[in-house]
Amino acid sequence: MNNGEFRGTHAPMQAFTDAEFEKLLFAARCEDLRDFAIIDLMYECFLRVSEVLALRVGDILPDGRVVCRRLKGSKDNILPIRNQDVLTLVMKACQTRKDRAALLFDNVSRRTLDWRIKKYGHIAGLPPEKCHAHALKHTACQSTMDATDGNIMAVKALAGHSDIDSSLAYADLSTDEALEIRARYELQRGKIKKAGQMNGGKENASTTSRSA
């Protein structure tokens, strides 16, 4: 089969259902264990293709958590590998490479990985418009929204979104509701920033007083 058979449309905000994701993961596991690990990590750690392929051995902590170094202005965070089979594969890869600066998944390009996801989606009988790499992060965000009864801040923290608007895209809200949530978030952020400035001023005043 050639690459064209798996080429799908990159429709915005496409996400797999839980059942579809499990089918995709099963298809990958049957074909290639490394792809199985990559796809699961992209989902569990809310990673883009470029981010998962940039993971280094040193980004895997001894307890199995992943230092997620995010791009495009997103915030880095540390998330666990919850799938024990994937954790075993990742830790084995780390032991094999040993060099902390070595890539965890070498010799894999963005184009190749995207094609493989299309291939596994085809094997699993999934809608072709969903079968592209970035759908995995969309799926993780949408699943988190569903699992937390629409907790926007949970999505923001786990996905590393620096802007609340990125998280609001996954909420089933009217424009007015989304604007209200954003306004509350910005107000709270302003209060925290102001409190920090005030505390800093008090500390400076206290230091000046002691010096005097």
Q: Are 70 and 76 in contact (CB under 8 A)?
A: yes
Task: List, for residues 166-211, the tens digit of each pLDDT value.
Answer: 887 887 656 676 677 677 767 776 766 666 666 665 555 555 444 5
Domains of the chain: 10-147 (1.10.443.10)
Cβ(65)–Cβ(44) under 8 Å?
A: no
Q: CA-CA distance, 150 to 144, in Å (whole number)?
A: 8
Scanning the structure block, which residue is given the tokens 């949408």?
Answer: 142
Query: Rounded to whole angstroms, what are the CA distances from 38 to 53, 73, 166, 199?
Result: 8, 22, 24, 44
Residue 58 bridge partners (DSSP): none
Q: What are phi and psi of 68, to 5 degrees?
A: -90, 105
For residue 107, the Cα-to-chain-centroid distance in whole angstroms is 22
Residue 192: predicted pLDDT: 61
> pLDDT of the chain along its 212 residues, tens only?
344 444 433 345 689 999 999 999 999 999 999 999 999 999 999 999 999 999 999 999 999 999 999 998 899 999 999 999 999 999 999 999 889 999 999 999 999 999 999 999 999 999 999 999 989 999 999 999 889 888 888 999 999 999 888 887 887 656 676 677 677 767 776 766 666 666 665 555 555 444 54
